[in-house]
Amino acid sequence: MTMGNLPQEQYAAVKSGSGADAKAPVKNIGVPQQPGPGQILVKINWTGLCASDKSLIHDEWAGFGIKM
């Protein structure tokens, strides 16, 4: 199976730390060239972070069993 012309790297907001001190700086990360077992490869042209993402990054939903 051919995956076409995939980039070698992409930008990603990567969580570091936990709780109120957590940050999600944008970093350049490697792009896997093949999906793993049970995975699919999806091309996303645009994305962003919203207030619910901020709550997830800061573990504000941990009491509901949702934590990164």
Among 44, 45, 41, 46, residue whose Cα is nearest residue 2: 41
Give residue 3's pLDDT: 63
- 3-state SS assignment for residue 11: strand
Q: Which residue's structure tokens are 């993402």?
A: 53
Sequence spans of domains, the chain: 7-31+50-62
Per-residue pLDDT tens listing for the chain (68 residues): 556 788 899 999 999 999 999 999 999 999 888 889 999 888 888 888 888 888 989 999 888 888 77
